[in-house]
Structure 1
Amino acid sequence: MANPVPMVEIWRGPFLESVHHGHAVVCDEMGQIVDAWGDPEAVVLPRSSSKMLQALPLIESGAAANAGLTDEQLALACASHQGAEIHSVRVKAWLKDLGKSDDDFCCGPQEPRDIEARDDLIRADKPVCRYHNNCSGKHSGFLTLTKYFRAGPDYVALDHPVQKAVKAAFEEVTQEDTPGYGIDGCSAPNFASTMHGMARAMAFFASASLDGDARQSAAAQLRNAMATYPELVAGEGRACTDLMRAMNHKVAVKTGAEGYFIAIIPEKKMGVALKIADGTTRGAECAVTSILIRLGVLDAAHPVAQKYVNAPICNWDGLVTGQMKPAKGLC
C-alpha cells in the first residue's frame, strides 16, 4: 500500500500533532476515475465495506425471494451492527425462519457494542452469543444461501458453493481478478481488490436499476435497503447510520475494519472507496465525510457533517484543545 497521501490532520492548539494518510477513489457509472487521492492501484482488503458484494449471490440466486426476505433483512445482510435489541431480535427471528440455531453460525460470539444490550446481558448473567456478532446479518444471508444450495454447513470455507459464488460476484463487479484473500473477523474470506476496483464496484451499485438484469436488480435492492434502514446497517451514534440519515436516505455508506469506507451515490451514479493507511476509524470517518461534502451530497453545515469534519477535540474537563480536519486537497 505504497504512496498514501495526507487526508486528515489532528491539531492541538497551533501544532499539527498527527496526520492520517490514505487512498481514495471516486468513479463514475462507466468505472472511470473522476477524482483520486493516493494510489488508485493500491491493493487493499475492503473488509466489511464489501458486504453488499458478498450479498449479491443471495438475491441473484433466487434464495432471497425463495425465503421471502424483506428489505430489513437485506439491510442486515450488509450490516456491521452493534448487537442492539433491534438487531438481535431480527437475527434470531431469521434463524428461526431458517430452522437454524445460534450454533449454526460460523461467526464467533461477540459482546454487543450497544451499551444497553451489553449491560442487560451482564445483569441477567446471560452468555454472549453468535447472533450478537456484528456480522450475524451477513451470516444469516450466508445460511439462507447455503440452505437454498443444499450445501454443507461450513459455509465460510473457500471451496464452499457460497464462497465460490461470492468470489465470482466480487471479481465480476470489481472487474478484477482478486490477488488473494484474508480471513475476516467473522471467519469468512475477505477478497482483496484495488481501490479503483472497489470504487468501480460501488459506482455499479449506484447506477444499478431495479428494472435491470438480475445483477443490477440485486445491487439496487441492496443499495436501497441500506439507505432505507441505516439503523440496521450500523446503529445509533455510528457514522454509517448518522451519515445516511443526514443525506436523507439518498446515499448508502458502509464502514469496514482498519479504516476502510465506501459510498454509493445513486443521484450522481458515483461510487467511492476510501482507505486510511494506519487503520484508524476517526481518520476514515473524517475523510469520507469530507468527500461526501466535496461531491455535494452532504451539507457541510449539517450537525452530522460537523461531528466528523473540523470537529473540536476536547479534554476530560471539556476544554477545546484542538481540531480534526481534512488535509489540504481533500476539503
Structure 2
Amino acid sequence: MKAYVLSYRGEELENRHRVSLAVWGREGFLGYAGEPAFCTFLRSSAKPFQALALFLTGAVERFGLSSEEVALATASHDGTPAHVEVAAGFLAKLGLGPERLACGVHPPFSKEARRALEERGLSPTPLHHNCSGKHAGMLAAALALGVSPEGYEKPDHPVQRLNHRTLMELSGMEPKIATDGCSVPTFALPLSRAARAFYFLAQPEEAPEAYQEPLRRVGEAMRKHPELVAGPGSIDTLLMERRPLIAKRGADGYYGMALLEGPRGPLGVALKVEDGSAQAREVAVVALLRLLGLDPGPTPWDRPVLKNHRGLEVGHLEAQLELVWV
C-alpha cells in the first residue's frame, strides 16, 4: 500500500512525503491510506465547523450576515481587495473595528495584493490576515450569545467552548486542544474521526439535528462563493468551482473535503502530509480525487515541476497513492 508524494531532483528520488488519510461514508469508516488513526490538528480545515457558531448562536439573523460573510468565516483567504472588503463590512455590521481581531497581521497570500500594498507604501492590517473572517465570525457569535467579546480567542471563552462541543459531537469523540497560528484554539482528532465530521458537511441530514441546518447553510455559502474561501488559482477555490465538493485546506499539510456525490456516494475525507508540506498536500489531494472518481481535470498540481531560484527546471513531484477499502 503506497501513500506518498515523491520529490525528484532530476530523475533521482530526493524526498518522500508520507501521506495518511481516511474516508468516511454512510456505512461509517470506509477507506484509508497510511495511518487513519493518526491524531493531528485540523488547523484551518476546522473553519467550516467553527463557522457553525454563526447559526447556532443566531448571529446570522441578528446581524443580517450575508452568504459572502459566512463564506469568509470559513476562509483561509488570500488577502485580495475583495476579501478585505468583505471582512471590513462584516466587522462594520458588528460595530467593531479591525483592531478587535486577535489574529495578528501578515502580508496577503496573494502576490498581486502584496505588491499593490508595497507600491502604495501601505502595511497590511488584520483584515489581510487569512483568518480575519473566522475571527469576525467568532466576535459575532460572542455578541449573539450576549457575552463579552473580550478574550474570545481563549479556550475558556463561551464561543470556544461551543466550537469544542461542536467538533466533539460531529466527530464522535473529544478533540484535543492547542493554540493555532492565529491564536484561537485548534483541534486534534484522528483522521478517521475528522473524516466523519466532513461527511456530515456532505450529508447534513444525517448529522445530529441541531447541526443539520447550520451545516447545510455553511456548505452552501462555501459552494456559492469559492473565491472567498481561498482565492483565484488556490486549490480550494479551483476544486469547488469544478467538482461537487466542499474543500478546505489547513496549515502544515492538512486537508479536509466533503464530497457531495461520486461513485461511492457522499464522502468525508481528512488528509495529512505528515511532514507538513503544503506543496505535497496539493499533489496528494488531486491524486486522491481521481482515485475517488472525481477527476478535477488538468490542475497545476499534476506532476508539478520544481524550479530553482534562476527559474531552471530541476525536478518534479508525483503522487503514489493506493486506497485500502474496509
Fold-level similarity (TM above 0.5): yes
* 1:36–1:126 distance in 2 versus 1, CA, 3 Å: same
**2:162 — aligned with what?**
165
Q: What is the Cα deviation at residue 328 of structure 1?
A: 4.8
Mapped partners of 1:113, 1:208: distance in 2: 32
* 1:211–1:72 distance in 2 versus 1, CA, 3 Å: farther
Aligned ranges for residues 147-296 of structure 1 at < 5 Å?
A: 147-152=143-148, 153-178=150-175, 180-209=176-205, 213-247=209-243, 250-267=244-261, 268-296=265-293
* 1:107–1:202 distance in 2 versus 1, CA, 3 Å: same
Larger displacement relative to structure 2 (55-64 or 155-164): 55-64
**1:36 — aligned with what?**
32
**1:109 — aligned with what?**
105
Q: Give ranges in structure 2 of 5+ residues lacking alignment.
A: none
| Matched residue count | 320
Q: What is the Cα deviation at residue 6 of structure 1?
A: 3.7
Q: What is the Cα deviation at residue 294 of structure 1?
A: 0.9
**2:59 — aligned with what?**
63
What amino acid does structure 2 have at the position aligned with 1:266? L
Over the aligned positions, Cα root-mean-square deviation in angstroms equals 2.2
* 1:320–1:246 distance in 2 versus 1, CA, 3 Å: farther
| Pair 1:25 & 2:28 matched | no
**Paired residue secondary structure (2:213):** helix
What amino acid does structure 1 have at the position aligned with 2:164? K
Mapped partners of 1:189, 1:318: distance in 2: 39
Q: What is the Cα deviation at residue 24 of structure 1?
A: 0.3
| Pair 1:298 & 2:292 matched | no
| Structure 2 counterpart of 1:139, from 121, 135, 138 | 135
**2:80 — aligned with what?**
84
Q: Among all aligned residue pairs of Structure 1 and Structure 2, give the percentage whose two residues are the same amino acid.
A: 33
- Give the conservation status (yes or no) of the 8 Å contact 2:170–2:197: yes
* 1:190–1:212 distance in 2 versus 1, CA, 3 Å: closer
Q: What is the Cα deviation at residue 320 of structure 1?
A: 4.8
**Paired residue secondary structure (2:275):** coil
- Give the conservation status (yes or no) of the 8 Å contact 2:33–2:321: no
Mapped partners of 2:144, 2:206: distance in 1: 23
* 1:86–1:196 distance in 2 versus 1, CA, 3 Å: same
Mapped partners of 1:324, 1:330: distance in 2: 19
* 1:193–1:75 distance in 2 versus 1, CA, 3 Å: same
* 1:298–1:309 distance in 2 versus 1, CA, 3 Å: same
**2:318 — aligned with what?**
325
Q: Give ranges in structure 1 of 5+ residues lacking alignment.
A: none
- Give the conservation status (yes or no) of the 8 Å contact 2:21–2:34: yes
Q: What is the Cα deviation at residue 124 of structure 1?
A: 2.8
What amino acid does structure 2 have at the position aligned with 1:203? Y
**1:310 — aligned with what?**
303
Q: What is the Cα deviation at residue 314 of structure 1?
A: 4.6
Structure 1 runs (4+) deviating above 6 angstroms are: none
Q: What is the Cα deviation at residue 285 of structure 1?
A: 0.6
**Paired residue secondary structure (1:303):** coil
